[in-house]
Every structure is written in C-alpha cells, then in structure tokens.
C-alpha cells in the first residue's frame, strides 16, 4: 500500500483480504534464515512478519505513515527484532545492493512512474537477488473502473486514474531493461468476494476510490458512488455478495 492518506482502520477491518491473498505469492519467495529482505508497500505489516518468521531480516517500507504506525503497533520491536519499518515511497528509495530479495504484494499498481520504481528495485538488490511480486494486472477491477469512469464523465468531472495495471509484456520489458531476468510471469483472474454483504461495494469504493474523486465535492461523492454501485451490480453482485473482478500479475525475477 502506498497512498499517503490511507484509512488503516477501515483497511484492517474490511480489507484484510489484501494481505491474506498475498500468501500465494509469498510461497514463491522462499525466504531463508539470515537473508535481508525488503517488503515494498508493506501496509499493516502482516506479510512482513510472516517473512521475518523464517529468520530473515525484513525491512517493511510503505509511503503511508498510518499503515506503518499500525504495523509497528502490531509487531513491536521487542518481540520482533528481525523487523524494521520505514515510511518512504518506492520512487524515493535509494538502497544500493542491500537486499537478497524484494517482495511486494498489492502495492505497485498504486505508484505512478513504474520506470523509476523498477530502477530503484533493481538497484536495491544484490547481484543474484530476487524480486517476487504480485500486483493488479491488465484488466484489473474493470467492472468497477468502467462504471467509475462513466459516472464521473457523465457528471463532467475529470478522471484522475491513480492505477497502473500493466500487461505481462509491458512489465517484463521494464524489468529486463533494468537487468532483472524474468523467470516467471503470470496474469490470472482472481474473483474476490468483498466483506460486508450488501454494503461490500460501498466499503470498497470508500477505501480505494478516494484518489479518483479528488475533483468531486465531498457532498456529491456518496451519491456518485451509489450510481457506480448500481452500474456495477449486473456484473459483480452474485445475489448474495459482491465479487470484485481482480486480475493479478505475478512475477519472479533475478538480478543478473
Ligand atoms: C488491487 O489490489 O488490485 C486493487 C486494490 C484497490 C484498487 C485497485 C486495485
């Protein structure tokens, strides 16, 4: 997670699926005792702690101070000596050959200027170090994005799409340009049930669509989001729950 103004409480209460689904990509990391590992966009730190349980020394980095505060509270330094936290954007980090591995789950699609981020990740890895990541890929949550775009356009508001959902080819070529050899690249659908019953879509929109609504006056936001929900219903409401149409891009690379 990398927005500066996250609501860490709402995230922990209704959106813990973000890190729970991250367990799949974590299996690809295979952290080893004594390794130095960067968890990029660590959010509230649950996956950083899982990695640290292997005996690796983990730096959890996130641009959101609210997320890092929650991570520190959940995993206090006295009990978790292998964990350290840093508030910083991936575009600003200046690590050089410090990490055996970089891990990132559900974060990189939030960061504009992917070229800069990939460059910084490549620089941060030791030679032979690995980058294991999962993020939103091409077509991710289109069932929400399209209604959002349509409703905002209809009301005459300029859209500020904050997300970067690349294809395999787009992201693989960025990685290769920075000396990261792609060993695995997958794009797959991961339909994701939202918590909160009938309110699930509104909770999701309240948490994640804030950056899109920058140009919309506060008093109009609720009404517009209700319209977005209505337009998304035919595709994403299954009669019992909301199921968001997540598409994941999963990548493993090695620095050569
Ligand atoms: C994602 O994890 O793919 C995602 C989450 C919130 C908004 C957009 C995408």
Residue 256 Cα, ligand 1 centroid: separation in angstroms?
30
pLDDT the model gives residue 3: 52
Residue 83 Cα, ligand 1 centroid: separation in angstroms?
26
pLDDT single digits (tens) 179-188? 999 999 999 9
> In terms of residues, how long is the chain?
256
Indicate whether 160 pLDDT > 80. Answer: no
Taking residues 80-99, what's their average pLDDT? Answer: 97
pLDDT the model gives residue 17: 72
For each of the domains in the chain, give its residue range(s) and CATH number, in order of start: 3-139+163-192+245-255 (3.40.50.150)
Q: What band does 86 get if pLDDT is binned at 50, 70 and 90?
A: very high
133 lines ligand 1 (CB under 6 A): no
Taking residues 166-191, what's their average pLDDT? Answer: 98
| Residue matched to tokens 């319209």 | 227
209 lines ligand 1 (CB under 6 A): no
194 lines ligand 1 (CB under 6 A): no
Taking residues 114-126, what's their average pLDDT? Answer: 98
Among 142, 165, 246, 250, name the best residue to mutate to test ligand 1's pocket (greatest count of ligand atoms within 8 A of Cβ): 246
Q: Which atom of ligand 1 is nearest to the CA of 209?
A: 7
Residue 67 Cα, ligand 1 centroid: separation in angstroms?
16
| Cα angle value 65/117/72 (rounded, 5°) | 25
Residue 78 Cα, ligand 1 centroid: separation in angstroms?
33
| Residue matched to tokens 């080819």 | 169
Q: Whose CA is nearest to atom 3 of ligand 1?
A: 136
Among 110, 138, 210, 211, name the best residue to mutate to test ligand 1's pocket (greatest count of ligand atoms within 8 A of Cβ): 110
pLDDT the model gives residue 19: 77
Among 19, 111, 141, 143, name the best residue to mutate to test ligand 1's pocket (greatest count of ligand atoms within 8 A of Cβ): 141
Q: Whose CA is nearest to atom 6 of ligand 1?
A: 208
pLDDT single digits (tens) 37-58? 999 999 999 999 999 999 999 9
Which tokens sit at 44? 């509230």
Indicate whether 155 pLDDT > 60. Answer: yes
Q: What band does 15 get if pLDDT is binned at 50, 70 and 90?
A: low
141 lines ligand 1 (CB under 6 A): yes
41 lines ligand 1 (CB under 6 A): no
Residue 184 Cα, ligand 1 centroid: separation in angstroms?
22
* CB contact at 8 A, 121 and 131: yes
SS3 26: helix
Residue ranges of alpha helices (H) inside 53-167 are 65-74, 114-124, 142-154
């Amino acid at each position: 997670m990398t927005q500066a103004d996250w609501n860490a409480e709402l995230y922990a209460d209704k959106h813990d699926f973000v890190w729970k689904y991250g367990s799949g990509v974590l299996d690809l990391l295979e952290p080893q005792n004594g390794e130095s590992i960067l968890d990029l966009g660590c959010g509230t730190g649950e996956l950083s702690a899982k990695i640290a349980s292997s005996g690796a020394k983990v730096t959890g980095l996130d641009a959101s101070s609210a997320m890092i505060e929650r991570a520190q509270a959940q995993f206090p330094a006295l009990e978790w000596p292998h964990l350290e936290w840093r508030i910083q954007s991936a575009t600003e980090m200046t690590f050089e050959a410090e990490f055996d591995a970089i891990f990132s789950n559900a974060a990189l699609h939030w960061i504009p200027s992917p070229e800069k981020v990939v460059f910084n990740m490549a620089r941060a890895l030791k030679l032979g170090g690995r980058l294991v990541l999962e993020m939103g890929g091409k077509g991710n949550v289109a069932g929400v994005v399209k209604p959002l775009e349509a409703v905002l356009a209809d009301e005459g508001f300029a859209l500020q799409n904050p997300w970067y959902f690349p294809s395999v080819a787009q992201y693989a070529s960025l990685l290769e340009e920075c000396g990261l050899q792609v060993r695995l690249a997958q794009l797959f659908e991961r339909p994701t049930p939202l918590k909160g019953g009938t309110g699930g879509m509104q909770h999701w929109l309240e948490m994640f669509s804030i950056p899109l609504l920058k140009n919309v006056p506060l008093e109009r936001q609720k009404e517009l989001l209700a319209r977005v929900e209505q337009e998304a219903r035919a595709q994403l409401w299954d009669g019992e729950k909301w199921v968001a149409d997540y598409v994941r891009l999963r990548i493993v690379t090695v620095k050569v």
